[in-house]
């Protein structure tokens, strides 16, 4: 319960910090941190408009997508407590409940019959498929180190015992952050700011959504950011007391948001055809990590 609440609170500020970081990098003052939330609140109070070519699937999609993120959040542990529920193999549940939400956004996009949205859906499907091995290899590695199969147990056992676990935590944090940026369709894979439909991935899939539905989709992104950053925070918290771990959690969220902002400020986006290479490189990095752990634990 605590983790759920903490992630929700962090999600309110995450995008605001990203936007603010980008503004400062540009030499502008930037909007207030809560501006993205004001926008979402405004959208949530509006009605939705539906295209006449779309069916019920399109109308269900935003709610299913949002619900899938809430469900995934429930298994994330934090600060020594488990999530709302926890069981052996809950990280598989985590991955596939997110995939379920993504499946709905894809068929929702196809439902509109727009050629743009079909293109976006095909890209999103490809990139999420490629990022899946990276996530499972990473969780498999952590499971191998700790000998456990649930988020709560894995992170509780993942102590900073030796220098190798520092290295593992650093690489795992990097991989998780990258997965987070790919899953959230941020730079360098996707550009959330662009107005060019032909280059979009996620944005083009939600072109037809409006009002309340759009608000849900936008807040789902914030929650996803906060949730992945919570996983990163878990790598560093271990079994620290709450009065240390809660500030550490918020510090990690803040650092992640700033890193996202800085990445988006100082580099160009990848060419679409290079995205696949980049994501596969991420998987191979985790494979190295996995083999390294196998070697150190004497499994091979």
Partner 1 sequence: MEIQNGQSVSMSQLEVLPYNTFYSDIIGLMEEPTAHCVNYFAVPRDERLTLICCIAVNASHSIHVLRSEVGRDDKLLPLTNMHRAFHVFEREIHELYGLQFQDHPWLKPLRYAHDRANDASIYDYPFFNIQSEEFHRVGVGPIHAGIIEPGHFRFICEGEKIHHLEIQLGWQHRGIERLFVEKQKLLQRATLAENIAGDTVVGHSTAFCQAYESLAGYQLPEKLAFDRTIALEQERIAIHTGDLSAICTDIAYQLGNAVFGRLRTPMINFFQQWCGNRFAKSLIRPGKTNFPFTPQLADTWRNTIAKYKPHFIEMGEHMFDLPSVLSRIERTGIVPTTTARSLGLVGMAAKASGIEADIRASHPYLRYNELNIKPIVKTSGDVFARARVRYEEVLASIQNIERLIDLMPAADYQPQTELPLRPGMLTVSLVEGWRGEICHCAVTGAGGQLTAYKIVDPSVHNWMGLAMAVRNNGISDFPICNKSFDLSYCGHDL
To partner 1, the closest distance from the beta carbon of 32 in angstroms equals 20
Contact flag: residue 29 with partner 1 (CB under 8 A): no
Contact flag: residue 83 with partner 1 (CB under 8 A): no
Contact flag: residue 299 with partner 1 (CB under 8 A): no
Q: Of 23 and 148, which CB lies nearer to partner 1 in the complex structure?
A: 23
Question: How long a stretch of residues is the chain?
Answer: 300
Contact flag: residue 198 with partner 1 (CB under 8 A): yes
Burial of 292 (0-12, 13-18, 19+ CB in 10 A): middle
Contact with partner 1 (CB under 8 A): which of 274, 284, 288, 295?
A: 274
Give the count of residues interacting with partner 1 (CB under 8 A). Answer: 30
Report in angstroms the alpha-carbon separations of 88 from 28, 91, 94, 142.
Answer: 48, 8, 12, 14
Map tokens 């004001």 to a residue.
38
Contact flag: residue 206 with partner 1 (CB under 8 A): no
CA–CA separation, 31 vs 28, rounded Å? 9
Contact status, residue 197 vs residue 204, Cβ threshold 8 Å = yes
Scanning 75-208, the segments in alpha helix (DSSP H) are 90-111, 115-146, 151-157, 163-183, 202-205
Contact flag: residue 25 with partner 1 (CB under 8 A): yes
CA–CA separation, 184 vs 198, rounded Å? 18
Stretch near partner 1 under the rule CB under 8 A, chosen from 2-10, 34-42, 89-97, 189-197:
189-197
Contact with partner 1 (CB under 8 A): which of 86, 265, 280, 287?
A: 265
Contact flag: residue 187 with partner 1 (CB under 8 A): yes
Q: What angle do CA 70, 71, 75 make, to 5 degrees?
A: 110
Contact flag: residue 210 with partner 1 (CB under 8 A): no
To partner 1, the closest distance from the beta carbon of 127 in angstroms equals 12
Contact flag: residue 132 with partner 1 (CB under 8 A): no
Contact with partner 1 (CB under 8 A): which of 31, 113, 197, 211?
A: 197
């Amino acid at each position: 319960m605590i983790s759920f609440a903490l992630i929700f609170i962090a999600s309110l500020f995450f995008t605001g910090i990203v936007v603010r970081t980008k503004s400062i990098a540009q030499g502008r003052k930037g909007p207030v941190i809560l501006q993205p939330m004001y926008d979402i609140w405004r959208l949530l109070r509006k009605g939705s408009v539906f295209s006449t070519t779309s069916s019920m699937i399109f109308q269900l999609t935003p709610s299913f997508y949002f619900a899938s993120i809430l469900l995934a959040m429930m298994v994330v542990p934090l600060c020594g407590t488990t999530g709302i529920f926890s069981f052996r193999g809950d990280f598989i549940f985590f991955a596939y409940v997110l995939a379920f939400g993504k499946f709905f956004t894809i068929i929702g996009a196809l439902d509109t019959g727009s050629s743009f949205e079909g293109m976006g859906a095909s890209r999103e499907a490809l990139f999420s498929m490629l990022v899946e091995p990276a996530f499972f290899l990473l969780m498999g590695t952590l499971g191998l180190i700790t000998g456990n199969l649930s988020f709560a147990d894995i992170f509780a056992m993942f102590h900073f015992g030796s220098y190798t676990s520092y290295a593992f935590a650093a690489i795992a944090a990097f991989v998780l952050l990258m997965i987070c940026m790919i899953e959230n369709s941020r730079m360098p894979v996707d550009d959330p700011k662009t107005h060019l439909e032909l280059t979009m991935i996620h944005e083009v899939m939600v072109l037809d959504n409006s009002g309340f539905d759009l608000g849900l989709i936008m807040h789902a992104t914030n929650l996803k950011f906060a949730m992945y950053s919570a996983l990163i925070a878990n790598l560093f918290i271990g079994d620290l007391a709450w009065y240390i771990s809660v500030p550490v959690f918020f510090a990690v969220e803040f650092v992640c948001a700033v890193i996202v902002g800085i990445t988006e400020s100082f580099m160009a986006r990848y060419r679409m055809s290079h995205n696949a290479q980049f994501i596969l490189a991420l998987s191979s990095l985790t494979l190295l990590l996995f083999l390294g752990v196998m070697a150190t634990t004497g499994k091979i």
